[in-house]
Amino acid sequence: MTSRTVGPYKSFGAFTNYAYHLPLSDKLNLSLGTRLGYTSQRIDFMGLTVRDEINDLFYQSLLQSGQGTQNSFLVDFGTMLYSKKFYFGVSTSNLIVKRLNGDQLFNLNEGVRYRIQSGTVFL
């Protein structure tokens, strides 16, 4: 579970992970994993303080857009090939996102991301 508050922005997330480890040989394993999650994001523009509320066009456009709220369900996958000497993995973020409700305010951070991780032991 995660929770974050920064000024007028609030977010909450609840996630569960599961991984299945499959031995390929005596020294090599493959891990297949998934993550299910729920995220809630909200921004309250009424809590912002500006010097000139009437003439600040950016502030007025924020007020007209209303409260920004978005609730989403997401699913991600990953795989890892590993041994005692190395690992190599590929995972996703926001691969499957189902917006439960909300406006267009939080669309910028919903892009699909792919990550590659690798490591080795030098001994």
DSSP string across 83-101: -SSEEEEEEEESSEEEEEE
- 123 has a pLDDT exceeding 70: yes
- 46 has a pLDDT exceeding 90: no
pLDDT digits 0-9 by tens, 53-103 = 778 887 777 666 656 778 889 999 999 999 999 999 999 998 988 888 765
Which residue did the predictor score with more confidence, 108 or 4? 4
At 78 the pLDDT is 97
Tally Cβ neighbours within 10 Å of residue 85.
12
3-class secondary-structure state, position 95? coil
| Distances 20 to 25, 35, 42, 79, 89 between C-alpha atoms, Å | 15, 12, 35, 10, 14
At 90 the pLDDT is 98
Average pLDDT over residues 10-32: 96
- 1 has a pLDDT exceeding 90: yes
pTM of the model: 0.70
| The pairing of beta strand 113-120 with beta strand 29-43 | unpaired
User: Which residue is listed with tokens 């409260």?
Assistant: 67
Average pLDDT over residues 35-58: 81
- What is the span of the domain harbouring residue 40? 2-120
Q: How many independent structural domains does the chain possess?
A: 1
At 58 the pLDDT is 75
